[in-house]
Structure 1
Amino acid sequence: MGIYLDNAATTAQKPAVVAEAVTEILTGEYGNPSRGAHGYSLAGFRVAEKARNQVKELFNADQRYEVAFTNNATVSLNEVLKGLIHAGDHVLTTSWEHNSVLRPLYQLEEQGASFDVVSSEAVTGRLNYQEFAEKVRPETKAVICNHASNVTGNLLDLEWVKDFCAEQELYLIIDASQTAGVVPINLSDGKIEALCFTGHKSLYGPQGTGGVCLLKDLPVEPVITGGDGMQSFSKVQPKNLPTLLEAGTLNIPGIAGLSASIQWLMEKEPAEKLGTYFYQELQKIAGVTIYGDFTNPRVDVFSINIKDAESAIVSDLLWEEYQVATRPGYHCAPLMHEALGTADRGTVRLSFSSFTTKAEVDTVLAALQNLALR
Structure 2
Amino acid sequence: MYLDNAATSFPKPESVYDAVDHWMRNNGTAFGRGQHALAEANGHMVQQCRVQLTRLLGLPAASHVALTFNCTDSLNLIIRGLVRPGDRVIATTMEHNSVLRPLHQLQDEIGLLFDLVDFDPVTGLVDPADFERSLHESSARLAVISHASNVTGVIQPVREIVDLAHQAGTMVMLDAAQTAGHVPFSMKDLDVDFLAAAGHKGLLGPLGTGILAVRPGLEKLIQPIRCGGTGSSSESMRQPSQMPDLLESGNMNLPGICGLQASTQWLSSQTVDAVHRHTLDLTKRLAAGLRDMNGVRIYGPLADDAAVADCCPILSMNIDGLDCRDVAMILDQSFDIQTRAGLHCAPLAHRTLNTFDLNGAVRFSPGCFTEESQIDAALSAIAEIAQSQ
Q: TM-score normalized by structure 2?
A: 0.92
Of 228, 252, 255 in structure 2, the residue corresponding to residue 253 of structure 1 is 255
Q: Is the 8 A contact 1:65 1:214 kept in 2?
A: no
Report the more deviating stretch, 132-141 or 49-58.
132-141
- C-alpha displacement at 1:32, in angstroms? 1.8
Indicate the percent of aligned positions where both proteins have the same amino acid.
37
Q: Is the 8 A contact 1:35 1:41 kept in 2?
A: yes
Aligned to 2:374: 360
- Aligned positions of 1:1-374 closer than 5 A: 3-29=1-27, 31-63=29-61, 66-110=64-108, 111-136=110-135, 137-189=137-189, 191-218=191-218, 219-268=221-270, 270-271=274-275, 272=278, 273-294=281-302, 295=307, 296-345=309-358, 346-374=360-388
Mapped to 2, the partners of 1:367 and 1:344 lie a distance apart of: 25
Mapped to 1, the partners of 2:260 and 2:182 lie a distance apart of: 15
Change in CA separation of 1:329 and 1:353 when aligned onto 2, cut-off 3 Å: same
Q: Is the 8 A contact 2:82 2:222 kept in 1?
A: yes
Question: What per-residue deviation string (whole Å, max 9, x for no partner) do you get for residues 115-173 of structure 1?
Answer: 10011233543323322122124331111011110011111112212221222221110
Question: What per-residue deviation string (whole Å, max 9, x for no partner) do you get for residues 154-200 of structure 1?
Answer: 11112212221222221110111100001112123472111101111
For structure 1, the residue ranges without an aligned partner over 5 or more in a row are none
The amino acid that maps onto 1:274 is: L
Mapped to 2, the partners of 1:90 and 1:62 lie a distance apart of: 26
Q: Is the 8 A contact 1:6 1:349 kept in 2?
A: yes
The amino acid that maps onto 1:57 is: R
- C-alpha displacement at 1:371, in angstroms? 1.1
Change in CA separation of 1:279 and 1:65 when aligned onto 2, cut-off 3 Å: farther
- C-alpha displacement at 1:112, in angstroms? 1.8
Question: What per-residue deviation string (whole Å, max 9, x for no partner) do you get for residues 283-307 of structure 1?
Answer: 1011110001242421110000001
Alpha-carbon RMSD across the aligned residues, in angstroms, is 1.5
Q: Is the 8 A contact 1:153 1:301 kept in 2?
A: yes
Question: What per-residue deviation string (whole Å, max 9, x for no partner) do you get for residues 2-57 of structure 1?
Answer: x1111110112100000111112111135322222221211111111000001100
Change in CA separation of 1:369 and 1:228 when aligned onto 2, cut-off 3 Å: same
Q: Is the 8 A contact 1:195 1:214 kept in 2?
A: yes
Question: What per-residue deviation string (whole Å, max 9, x for no partner) do you get for residues 55-94 of structure 1?
Answer: 1001122348610011100000000111111111111101
Q: Is the 8 A contact 2:63 2:244 kept in 1?
A: no
Q: Is the 8 A contact 1:126 1:292 kept in 2?
A: no
Report the more deviating stretch, 290-299 or 56-65.
56-65
Q: Is the 8 A contact 1:197 1:212 kept in 2?
A: yes
Mapped to 2, the partners of 1:107 and 1:59 lie a distance apart of: 31
Mapped to 2, the partners of 1:133 and 1:190 lie a distance apart of: 17
Q: Is the 8 A contact 2:162 2:190 kept in 1?
A: no
- C-alpha displacement at 1:232, in angstroms? 2.2
Q: Is the 8 A contact 2:139 2:170 kept in 1?
A: no
Structure 1 SS opposite 2:141? strand
Change in CA separation of 1:64 and 1:264 when aligned onto 2, cut-off 3 Å: closer
Mapped to 1, the partners of 2:160 and 2:63 lie a distance apart of: 22
- C-alpha displacement at 1:314, in angstroms? 0.8
Mapped to 1, the partners of 2:30 and 2:121 lie a distance apart of: 50
Mapped to 1, the partners of 2:130 and 2:238 lie a distance apart of: 40
Structure 2 SS opposite 1:21? helix
